[in-house]
Copies of this chain bind each other. A is one copy, B any other.
Amino acid sequence: MPNSFGKLFSVTTWGESHGLAVGVVIDGCPPRLPLEAAEVQAELDRRRPGQSDIVTPRKEEDRVEILAGIFEGRTTGAPLSLLVRNADQRPGAYDEMRDKFRPSHADYTYQAKFGIRDHRGGGRSSARETIGRVAAGAVARKLLALGPAGGAPTGGVEIRAFLTQVHDIVAPAEALAAFPTLAEVEATAVRCPHRPTAEKMIERIKAVRAEGDSVGGVIECRVRGVPPGLGEPVFDRLEADLAKAMLSLPATKGFEIGSGFAGARQRGSEHNDVFALREGRIRTESNRSGGVQGGISNGEEIVFRVAFKPTATILQAQRTVDRDGRETELMGRGRHDPCVVPRAVPIVEAMTALVLVDHWMRQAAQVGTFRIEA
């Protein structure tokens, strides 16, 4: 099921950019979770276009409806079905795309794969597909905040993504040493918690937009409160599933966890995370592992980064070919984000939440079902 993600907390998205609606079905959600549409809406509002002067001015209200799976304000264990109607449809606005393949978009590959494509606004390849992911992620985040069944109430799991880079502007590492607060992240339109860097990023995005161009960037995501033991030994390692989740997002080109590519430049004696006791718990003194060892969470902060390429749509003439194989030219137009990365922050968080909930449920099943002596 290529449009599904997750084995036990399974999320299936559907819908095209300019169809009637986009939506998501969540199968396997635990029952009795209090849930209101407003909670989902809050996350959708974070990914919505038109929130600031550096993102696309398209007006998409993106009101979510919960069609099934809730009874008297709680989940029932039946599938949740959530739907957002598409509003901003402008017939004719995409006529040129019917025949011409936009460079570095999915137009050509969809045509090659399926022999047909809904060219309007990118159809299924549009980032509107991620609405369903963010909606499902909102439910997953509520679960993660609860902590484990049978355990004491905890602070729960907190997921915080933010920008560390736009184009060649990089936030200084020391400025991001502490776990950023949500307020710090949301303080600026670029969602970089280091304000001086954020201001430079905004300036750069505006400058690039003025030239009809676009830029890429990097998101870092940190997760705290994850207990040791999530993730599987071999193929379904926690970092493997996070990598898949991130590379399944539009415009992503890279993923690294902990030391990442820089770790390849280190020696073992520098890189290893030494174990020590802190407050009676086994901890590591450094975290080059990024919170995951042997595919399994070790209780430290999970830290990973995702690279996004520059927006493919630029307001410049580009050479291309059409469906009949003739060389031609395409002039980008319309309202597009010159940098998609700030709006990707809630999407990265949502996918992270989906991965964690699923692995937590798997862990509970394997070690928590039968009465086995320690």
Contact = CB atoms under 8 A, between A and B. Distances in A.
Nearest to A250: B294
Contact of A293 (B108, B144, B149, B214): B108
A105 B133 CA distance: 33
A50 interface: no
Contact of A310 (B13, B267, B314): B267
A179 interface: no
Contacts of A243: 240, 243-244, 246-247, 255
A319 B247 CA distance: 36
19 contacts: A2-B234, A3-B25, A3-B234, A4-B4, A12-B25, A15-B81, A22-B68, A23-B81, A32-B374, A71-B123, A148-B370, A151-B371, A213-B267, A253-B257, A253-B258, A254-B256, A266-B310, A272-B314, A364-B365
A115 to B, nearest CB: 6
Contact residue range for chain A?
A: 35 or more
Contact of A106 (B68, B255, B294): B294
Interface in A237-290: 237, 239-248, 250, 252-261, 263-277, 280, 282, 284, 288-290
A116 B124 CA distance: 36
Interface stretch (A41-49, A54-62, A355-363): A355-363
Interface stretch (A87-95, A182-190, A191-199, A215-223): A215-223
Nearest to A313: B268
Contacts of A19: 67-69
Contacts of A12: 4, 12, 25, 27, 79
Contacts of A107: 294
A313 B25 CA distance: 30
A319 B274 contact: yes
Contact of A365 (B245, B311, B314, B361): B361
